[in-house]
Amino acid sequence: MRFLLFLAASCSILTACRIQEFPSGDDFVQITYSDIEKTARKDTLYRSCKENGEKCSFVNSKGRTVASPGKYDSIYTDTFVTYAFVRATAGSSWKAINRKGDHLYDAYPFEKPDPLSEGLFRFTREGRIGYANATGEVVVPAAYSYAEPFKNGKARIGVICQPVSDTNDPITWQCNEWFYIDKTGRQVE
């Protein structure tokens, strides 16, 4: 009950209590803070960003700041259980961190981290693309120059790729070779 009161107060103060849409395959599932409260672990951390332009940090269920105040310019992740996406400075890339604050990998390079597609999202490490699951665990190591999201149990992978841009279209990729992998990284037809 105390936690619920804290959450309600935090939402009104931070104006962060809104419905978030998290992809689940090709469908979107709406999750509210009351849903999170029912399933959250006791050690779950929550995003805390001030509206006056101050930087962000994480707070625990009692509202105490547990990361250096103002350490991050932006925090993408609302609830932090095993990993979170953060940006140290405005305009920098999103980085995944673990609970110790260690850098795990970079988000796939879009304006926000890659959404889950069939339970996996793309990440980058040293210029290569891999896949991680909903808990942030790497399940397919970063080994590909181009990789698409999973669809129907497989993902299309490109080898030796170059981005091709048309002024009217989004970037497409031209690759020397294409193949598909399953969710373990094994090549499939």
pLDDT per 10-residue tile (average), the chain, 189 residues = 42 37 36 45 78 74 76 84 86 87 87 86 93 94 93 94 72 87 95
Q: What is the pLDDT of residue 32?
A: 42
Q: What is the pLDDT of residue 91?
A: 77
Residue 15 contacts residue 51 (beta carbons within 8 Å):
yes
Q: What is the pLDDT of residue 45?
A: 87
Q: CA 93 → CA 2, 4, 173, distances in Å?
A: 36, 33, 21
Domain ranges of the chain: 1-107, 114-189
Which parts of 49-184 are beta strand (E)? 57-59, 74-75, 79-80, 83-87, 95-98, 103-107, 120-125, 128-133, 138-144, 146-147, 155-166, 169-181
Please state whether the predicted TM-score (pTM) of the whole model is above 0.75. Answer: no
Size of the chain in residues: 189
